């Protein structure tokens, strides 16, 4: 019996997202799909800057706050229009669902000043926020839960943003450990786009931040001792969402060196539904183990407590 019990616990540990974290596996623009690259894999040409680690960026002053863990330039730039609908498909490292459900989703953009985005080093980029998504109505659950359930994050580009080359910094912050200072997990990701049209909206300098620089570890939305007190009261970190005031001096599109425009892999509804999930497997294993628990209440709950505490990424 004890062997069986131990085996169940080992299965539980493997099936659940033990060191679970993630990356942007896919981006769609107005329904057209572009693939990201698995961290550290041999990269295919993409519009998403590849990172080298699915683990979170820790600490608001970490240089990887910019575009994620050791992010590399991506080879391609995709065209987009003002008001284009973006979807960001976050996955765990093994292709199963994103493992976290507590914390905000935020999107920033920065102009690729002086060059095209496939060659732009964003270390000193001026980022402005275009949207922030936090709690569902009632403040009991977070929209991030939908990503854990297999759905993409949805972002609408501003309708009046000046055309040109931009990085889109899509970020999830996981707050399940944020009751301790430094516990927040940051997941930034950068996608390279060229915005068409002839709009004239630009951010003002007080709406712009650098990364690192935009957040502090002590910000209320990052170090959050009450994050589990429902209904949750939440304050987003970073600057306010930019209003993009219309400027009179529209910058003429200067001649930029050639770059490669991305072609989507496919379009259509095939990915519009959540994909199969490691979470489901995990839940089944938990149920099996809980069934064992009924037969071995004492020992198991003690071991379970240790395991659960120890495994949460
Ligand atoms: C950008 O510049 C920083 C600072 O010089 C450097 O550490 C980083 O590797 C560069 N990024 C890329 C993608 O080349
Ligand atoms: C994005 O939109 C889809 C379709 O409406 C929705 O099911 C999903 O929950 C949304 N994503 C998030 C993160 O709320
Ligand atoms: C640019 O603006 C003019 C009006 O100023 C409008 O007629 C035209 O359709 C716009 N072009 C694009 C590509 O949005
Ligand atoms: C939800 O959170 C917001 C922002 O913290 C707050 O203004 C609002 O009162 C909260 N609503 C409830 C029902 O707690
Ligand atoms: Cu994690």
Residues within a 6 A CB radius of ligand 4: 135, 138-139, 231, 233-234
Q: Which ligand is nearest to the CA of 49?
A: 1
Residues 6+ positions from 250 with CB-CB distance below 8 Å: 162, 198, 200
- State the Cα–Cα distance between residues 257 and 169, nearest whole angstrom: 23
Order across the sheet with 153-156: list the strands: 153-156, 85-92, 22-29, 32-35, 266-267
The per-residue pLDDT for 292 is 33
Mutate to test the pocket of ligand 3, among 82, 161, 198 (most ligand atoms within 8 A of CB): 198
Q: Which ligand is nearest to the CA of 313?
A: 5
Domains and CATH numbers, the chain: 21-275 (2.70.50.70)
The per-residue pLDDT for 267 is 63
Contact 151 CB / ligand 2 (< 6 Å): yes
The per-residue pLDDT for 309 is 38
List the residue whose alpha carbon is closest to atom 11 of ligand 2: 153
- State the Cα–Cα distance between residues 185 and 222, nearest whole angstrom: 9
Nearest to 269 by CA among 98, 33, 26: 33
- Taking ligand 5, which is a single-atom ion, which protein residues have CB atoms under 5 Å away? 21, 185, 313
The per-residue pLDDT for 306 is 35
Beta bridge partners, 267, equal 32
The per-residue pLDDT for 130 is 98
The per-residue pLDDT for 256 is 78
Low-confidence ranges of the chain (pLDDT < 70): 1-19, 248-254, 267-313
The per-residue pLDDT for 255 is 72
pLDDT tens-digit readout, 219-262: 999 999 999 999 999 999 999 999 998 876 555 556 778 899 99
Q: Which ligand is nearest to the CA of 144?
A: 2
For the record, the structure tokens of 262 come out as: 């991305």
């Amino acid at each position: 019996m004890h062997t069986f019990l131990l085996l169940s616990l080992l299965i539980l540990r493997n099936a659940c997202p033990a060191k679970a974290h993630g990356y942007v596996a896919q981006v769609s623009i107005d329904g057209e799909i572009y693939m990201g690259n698995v961290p550290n894999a041999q990269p295919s040409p993409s519009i998403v800057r590849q990172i080298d680690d699915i683990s979170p960026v820790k600490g608001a002053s970490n240089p990887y706050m910019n575009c994620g863990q050791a992010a590399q330039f991506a080879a391609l730039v995709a065209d987009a229009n003002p008001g284009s609908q973006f979807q960001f498909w976050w996955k765990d490292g093994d292709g199963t669902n994103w493992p976290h459900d507590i914390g905000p989703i935020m999107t920033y953009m920065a102009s690729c000043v002086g060059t095209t985005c496939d060659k732009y080093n964003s270390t000193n980029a001026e980022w402005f926020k275009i949207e922030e998504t936090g709690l569902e109505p009632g403040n009991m659950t977070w929209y991030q839960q939908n990503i854990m359930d297999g759905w993409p994050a949805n972002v609408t580009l501003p309708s009046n943003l000046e055309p040109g080359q931009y990085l889109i910094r899509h970020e999830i912050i996981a707050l399940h450990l944020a009751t301790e200072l430094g516990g927040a997990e940051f997941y930034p990701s950068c996608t390279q786009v060229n915005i068409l049209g002839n709009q004239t909206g630009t951010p003002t300098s007080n709406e712009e931040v650098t990364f690192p620089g935009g957040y502090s570890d002590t910000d209320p939305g990052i170090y959050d001792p009450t994050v589990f007190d429902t209904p949750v009261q939440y304050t987003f970190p970073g600057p306010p969402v930019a209003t993009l005031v219309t400027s009179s001096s529209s910058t003429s599109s200067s001649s930029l060196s050639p770059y490669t425009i991305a072609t989507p892999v496919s379009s259509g509804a095939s990915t519009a539904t959540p994909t199969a999930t490691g979470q489901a497997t995990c839940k089944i294993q938990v149920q099996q183990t809980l069934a064992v628990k009924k037969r071995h209440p004492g020992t198991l709950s003690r071991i379970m407590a240790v395991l659960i505490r120890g495994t949460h990424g």
